[in-house]
Structure 1
Amino acid sequence: MLTIALVDRIGSGLWAAVSVLYFTYVSGLSVAQVGTLAATAGAIGIAGAPLGGRLADRFPLTRVLLAVQLLRALASLALLTTNDYALLLAFSAVGSLGDRAASVLTRLYATRVAGPDRVRYQAVHRTIANAGWALGGLVAATALALGTTTAYHWLLAGDALSFLASALLTLRCGEPPSASRTVTTSKTPAPATKPARANPWRDRTYLAYVGTETVLFLDDAVFKVGLPLWIAHAGNTPHGLAPLLLVLNNVMVVALQVPLARFGTTTTAARRLLLPLSAAFALGGIAMALSASDGTVTATLLLTASAAAFTLAEMLHAAISWELSVALAPVTAQGAYLGVHGLAQSAQRSIGPLAVTAAIATGPAGWTAFGAIIALTCLIQHRLVRERLTRTPLSVPPVTVSEH
């Protein structure tokens, strides 16, 4: 599965770096059309997380992931066949649906395979994925130097081929044990009744937890939207600083995600990490606010410090989220619960740009408030999960279900 993560992310890096340019220069869409396409596809993609998780509780996980990878490949290839806006929107939406489903399914695979070591496994997985993303971005940047329609087509084709390769590699993966699905081929009659399956949509504590997670995922919007726009808006640092800060983010994740993950390998430890996470978010917001100073050198140093703080927050939150999202879920419905948890990251993709642009419009005070609100949310989550964890077995490993 780690090899699949590398191949998948190389392809995603190829496309993510050029998608807006492709729709603009190859498909001939206007700025408004590109924005509407991205927003609509993202909104539809939100359904992919719960849908993927629910299917994985009912069917073999590897087969569901195989189908999702093939769906993503077909969606990418379909984009090559047309410049019609309606069709581009439809194909992009299907691809987005597959992307969000694949994200949940790979997390669920790690949960079932790694058991108590799931946090370290996810850290390694994320490190490899970031390396693949960076490699794909470098290839895309090189291809864009050609500036031809053919180069754009090959990058999109490379994205589709990465999904096909991932699908083939998935066929080689063994099916992990699952407590939510029992397969039997013996002559022993199946039980007449099945136990009721836990429903995350009726679990108020888990839904509240997912709500706080949506806020904690806002670091993603900082790097994709906030930092570039703030640098352009403030005007006291060179615009070239924005991509360098993205490189810093990627390098820090590759170098430090695995070492930091060891501090969140138990549920109790993961909950404790919410306190330093709160401090990291607050410091990131304060440094961003202070970067509005007149001096270029001072502003550059403060923006770098802010990027480092938000990256630290990103890595800490990743370790916390991997553990708590599973520990708070019944073992017999992990797929459904992780699918609902996946809504947090999907929703952030819509809410995040609005939040950071509001902070930019408000000025330094807005960034201070931005960091403070997320820091407060960390403390709310810390208290929210306490009662649930005191009556839930901590770090319960997956139950092995034999298949006769």
Structure 2
Amino acid sequence: MLWINLVDKTGSGLWFSVTALYFVVVGGLSTGATGLLLGIGGAFGLAGPPLAGRLADRVPLTRVLLAVQILRGASSLLLLFWHGFWPLLPLVALGSFGERSASVLTKLFAARVAGGDRARYQAIQRTVVNLGYTIGGLAASAALAVGSTAVYRGLLLGDGLSFVAVALLVARCAEPPSATRTVAVHPVAGKEAGTGKGAGTAAAASTPAPAQTPVTAPAPAPANPWRDPGYLGYAALDSVMFLYGAALSVGLPLWIVTRTTAPHGLAAAVFVVNTVIVVFCQVRLSRYGRSPRIAAGALRHVAVWFAVCGATAALAVVHAPWAATLSVIGCAVAVTVVEMIQSAVSWELSVSLAPADAQGAYVGVHGLAQSAERCVGPLLMTSAVLAGGPLGWLVFGAVLAAAALLQRRLVLRRLDRLGAAASPTPLSVAPITVSEQ
């Protein structure tokens, strides 16, 4: 799965940095229409996590992931042949749906394979993901130096082919084990009774009458995350905390260019700072996700770093360029620390707070948190945070810090109520029986 993530994110790195430019230069759209296209397409992605998670509880996860990767590859490659808003919209929507579905399915696959060591596995996976984005982003930057239509098409083609390669890799993956998956073997008649003349008759004579099968009560229906207010509240607060992504990708670059005296080149450098820190520190900080209670305790650290993020961004309006530069870099570091700790915490809690018989459905609902941030985050950053100036950043940091502290209280209360142990809850899917003939 690590190789799958590396190939996937390398292809995505080729595309993410030129998405808007492609639709303007090649697709023939205005900047306003491009924003509307990406916004509506992103909204369709909201349906991906809950549907994919529920399917993963009912059918083999690898089959669902394979279908999703094929969908992503097809939608990307078809973009090469279509122009205009309405022809492009369904393809962008399908691509967004596939991307968010794949994110949840990959998370479930990794958690089932890693078991109790899933926090460390997640950290390694995030390191690989950032490495893939870096490789793809650097390749895209070099290609954009040419800036021709053929280059844009080539980057999109590379993204589409990466999904084809990922689908081939997924097809070779074995289904991850499940603690509740059982195998019932049905022997072929006559094979156990011996061989030779009269063996069948002897077997028939010696075989006892089958015992009467006891009548058992039907298994209870799996838990429904949409009727679990505690988990929904946890996921809603996570959607607020995930706004750090919009701060890094939208808010901080625009803040640098429009309101500070820092060099404009820092708008691109913040991504380098983010990637380098994640590659070198994510595995070490995975300790914050070793158990549900450790993860809940780490939310206090997250709250502090959120406050630091808002304060350093607000200070960047100072007139001295060197001071503005240091403030911007400090904000980028704070956001990155938040990302590393909160990702480990979110990974652990989204799995361990879910019932064992419906973890796919629950994790799918949790996947809506990040999907919602992608839809709302950019608009919120431009219309509220940046418009509010330094005060907007201070309020932003304070609100996210409050969300982290509130989530900590909610999680600890849920753990106490459920009597959760300090060790992680084993991941499983709804019990199924596989018949082998």
Normalising by structure 1, what TM-score? 0.96
Residue 200 of structure 1 corresponds to 225
Change in CA separation of 1:75 and 1:181 when aligned onto 2, cut-off 3 Å:
farther
Please show how residues 294-305 of structure 1 align to structure 2 within 5 Å.
294-305=319-330
2:75·2:94 contact (CA, 8 Å) conserved in 1? yes
Partner of 1:16: 16
Residue 407 of structure 2 aligns with which residue? 381
Calculate percent identity across the aligned residue pairs.
52
Note closer, same or farther for the CA distance 1:69–1:183 as it changes in structure 2 (3 Å cut). Answer: farther
- Give how far 1:18 is off: 1.0
**Counterpart residue number, 2:301:** 276
Mean CA deviation greater in 138-147 or 333-342:
138-147
The match for 1:396 is 425
In structure 2, what is the Cα distance between the partners aligned to 1:236 and 1:18?
A: 27
Residue type of the partner of 1:369?
Answer: V
CA distance in 2, matches of 1:129, 1:101: 16
**Runs of 5+ in structure 1 lacking a partner?**
none
Closer/same/farther in 2, CA of residues 23 and 347 from structure 1, 3 Å limit: same
Query: What is the number of residues matched between the two proteins?
Result: 404
CA-based RMSD of the aligned residues comes to 1.9
Cα distance between partner residues in 2 of 1:5 and 1:258: 16
The aligned amino acid for 1:383 is R
- The farther-off stretch of 90-99 and 383-392 is 383-392
2:240 is equivalent to residue 215 of structure 1: yes
Partner of 1:163: 163
1:105-140 alpha-carbon deviations (Å, 9 max, x no partner): 000011111111111111111110110011001111
Structure 1: distance between partners of 2:128 and 2:225? 31
Q: 1:65 & 1:181 partners in 2: Cα distance?
A: 19
Cα offset, 1:399, TM superposition: 4.9
The whole-number CA distance in structure 2 between the counterparts of 1:211 and 1:226 is 21
What is the CA distance between 1:193 and its match in structure 2? 2.9
C-alpha displacement at 1:267, in angstroms? 1.1
Flag the 1:171–1:183 CA change in 2: closer, same or farther, 3 A.
farther
Q: State the 1:351 CA deviation.
A: 1.9
Aligned to 1:247: 272
| C-alpha deviation, 1:179, in angstroms | 5.4
Larger radius of gyration: 2
Q: Which runs of 5+ in 2 are unaligned?
A: 188-209
Does the Cα contact within 8 Å between 2:14 and 2:136 map onto a contact in 1?
Answer: yes
CA distance in 2, matches of 1:157, 1:72: 12
Q: Deviations over 1:321-363 (max 9, x none)?
A: 0111111100111110000000000001122123322111111
* Aligned positions of 1:3-82 closer than 5 A: 3-82=3-82
Residues of 1 paired with 2:106 and 2:420: CA distance? 24
1:332 pairs with 2:361: no
The AA in structure 1 aligned to 2:404 is C
CA displacement 1:295-339 (0-9 Å, x = unmatched): 100010011011101110111100100111111100111110000
Alignment partner of 1:287 is 2:312: yes
Contact 1:110 1:122 survives alignment (8 Å): yes
AA matched with 1:204: P
- Is the contact between residue 57 and residue 180 of structure 1 (CA under 8 Å) also seen in structure 2? no
- The alpha-carbon deviation at position 392 of structure 1 amounts to 4.2
Shift in CA distance, 202/230, structure 1 to aligned 2, threshold 3 Å: same
Q: Which TM-score applies when normalising by structure 2?
A: 0.89
Contact 1:215 1:377 in 2 (8 A): yes
1:179 and 1:331 in contact (8 A); partners too: no
Distance in 2 of aligned mates of 1:102 and 1:184: 31
